[in-house]
Amino acid sequence: MSKPEITVIDYGIGNLFSVQGALEHCGANVRMSSSAADIVDAERLLLPGVGAFADGMQGLRNRGLIEPLLRFAATGRPLLGICLGMQMLATASEEFGEHEGLGLIPGRVKQVPARTVTGESHKIPHIGWSEISPAPGADWSGTMLQDTAAGTPVYLVHSFHLVPDSPAHLLADCGYGGHRVTAAVCSGAILGAQFHPEKSGKEGLKMLSAFLRL
């Protein structure tokens, strides 16, 4: 049986080698690329990223990759954004000003609340392991979480999260200081994970394997 093919977008921002290693461990043929043609022709696509929203969008813009990425998304083939890559799927971000996103998941990137629900300050960024749960009404079947149990811990490092306009696009969330924080979003074949599956142990590899089967 042939290996699943996946193209990882290299736009100058992202922990590419850990993502590549995890995908190869899951049996994928991985292509790292900054080529518009490679993106449009990909079997499935992964948009990684760490750092600031504006820098990520500028990295895509400088390489002429926004239009090819939108063309790919319109085909209905699987697309996964991880961490900053998920946030850039949004319409806009409030991080260090107002910045336009890809608009693939209608919604805004907002700061994780700096205080708990009882008013106490807590650490921002939100770093560490948190258990994810299905959002109200969410169905994990047919997504990267289809083999994942509710309550599975995943690894996060973030100060902002994508708040979808429609609750139907919220796939999973996690708790932080009593708040519900977005952990994953989905719109058709477009998926986003705020957490790092490549750093989330065996359960994270199960998620990537499930994505490779989509």
- 2-20 in b/e burial notation, b at 16+ Cβ within 10 A? eebebbbbbbebbebeebb
- Which member of 83, 126, 161, 174 is catalytic? 83
Q: Are 105 and 164 in contact (CB under 8 A)?
A: yes
Q: How far apart are CA 46 and CA 108, in angstroms?
A: 21
- Which member of 94, 122, 198, 203 is catalytic? 198
On the question of a cis peptide bond just before residue 125, with omega within 30 degrees of 0, the verdict is: yes
CA angle (29, 20, 169) in 5-degree steps: 95
**Strand 90-93 vs strand 99-100: parallel, antiparallel, or unpaired?**
antiparallel
158 is catalytic: no
198 is catalytic: yes
122 is catalytic: no
- Which member of 99, 158, 169, 196 is catalytic? 196
**Catalytic residue ranges:** 83, 196, 198
